[in-house]
Amino acid sequence: MDLDAFIVGLPKAELHIHIEGSLEPEMMFALARRNGVALPFASVEALRAAYSFTRLQDFLDLYYQGAEVLRTDEDFRDLALAYAARAAADGVVHAEVFFDPQTHTARGIPFSVVAEGLLAGLAAARERHGLTARLILCFLRHLSEEDAFAALRAAEPWLDRIAGVGLDSSEVGHPPEKFVRVFAAAGERGLRRVAHAGEEGPPDYVRQALDLLHIDRVDHGNRALEDPALVDRLAREAMTLTVCPLSNLRLCVVDAIADHPIGRMLKLGLRATVNSDDPAYFGGYVADNYRAVAPLLSREDLVTLARNSFLGSFLPAAEITRHVAAVEAFTEGERL
Ligand code: HPA
Ligand code: ZN
Give the pLDDT confidence of 240-283 residue by residue, as tens digits.
999 999 999 999 999 999 999 999 999 999 999 999 999 999 99
Sign of CA dihedral 196, 199, 202, 207: positive
Asked if residue 38 is part of any domain, the answer here is: no
pLDDT value of residue 217: 98
pLDDT value of residue 184: 99
Asked if residue 303 is part of any domain, the answer here is: yes
Instruction: Say whether pLDDT at 170 is over 80.
Output: yes
**Which residues are 197's β-sheet partners?**
220
Which whole number is the average pLDDT over 178-198? 98
For residues 8-22, b (16+ Cβ closer than 10 Å) or e, as one string? Answer: bebbbbbbbbbbbbb
Q: What is the DSSP letter of 37?
A: P
How do 271-274 and 240-243 pair as beta strands?
A: parallel
Residue nearest to atom 10 of ligand 1 (CA): 169
Instruction: Say whether pLDDT at 232 is over 80.
Output: yes
The pTM for the full model equals 0.98
Confidence of residue 153 (pLDDT cuts 50, 70, 90): very high
Asked if residue 69 is part of any domain, the answer here is: no
pLDDT value of residue 333: 76
Closest CA to 80 of 35, 141, 149, 127: 127
Confidence of residue 122 (pLDDT cuts 50, 70, 90): very high
| Domain total of the chain | 1
How far, in Å, from the CA of 34 to the mean position of ligand 1?
Answer: 27
User: Radius of gyration of the chain from Cα atoms?
Assistant: 19
Q: Report the nearest atom of ligand 1 relative to the CA of 171.
A: 2
CA distances (Å), origin 173, targets 170, 182, 210, 316: 8, 18, 18, 36
CATH number at residue 105: 3.20.20.140
Instruction: Say whether pLDDT at 92 is over 80.
Output: yes
Q: Is the CB of 141 under 6 A from ligand 1?
A: no
Confidence of residue 181 (pLDDT cuts 50, 70, 90): very high
* E strands present in 28-111: 92-99
Strand (E) or helix (H) holding 244: none
Asked if residue 63 is part of any domain, the answer here is: no
Residues within 5 A (CB) of ion ligand 2: 277
Asked if residue 120 is part of any domain, the answer here is: yes
Instruction: Look up residue 166 and give its amino acid.
Output: G
Asked if residue 30 is part of any domain, the answer here is: no
What is the span of the domain harbouring residue 166? Answer: 3-24+76-335
Asked if residue 296 is part of any domain, the answer here is: yes
Confidence of residue 62 (pLDDT cuts 50, 70, 90): very high
Which whole number is the average pLDDT over 73-101? 98
Query: Are the C-beta atoms of 151 and 137 separated by less than 8 Å?
Result: yes
Confidence of residue 336 (pLDDT cuts 50, 70, 90): confident
**Which residues are 218's β-sheet partners?**
195, 241
Which whole number is the average pLDDT over 65-90? 98
Q: Is the CB of 301 under 6 A from ligand 1?
A: no
Asked if residue 64 is part of any domain, the answer here is: no
Q: Is the CB of 16 under 6 A from ligand 1?
A: no
Q: How far apart are CA 291 and CA 263, in angstroms?
A: 13
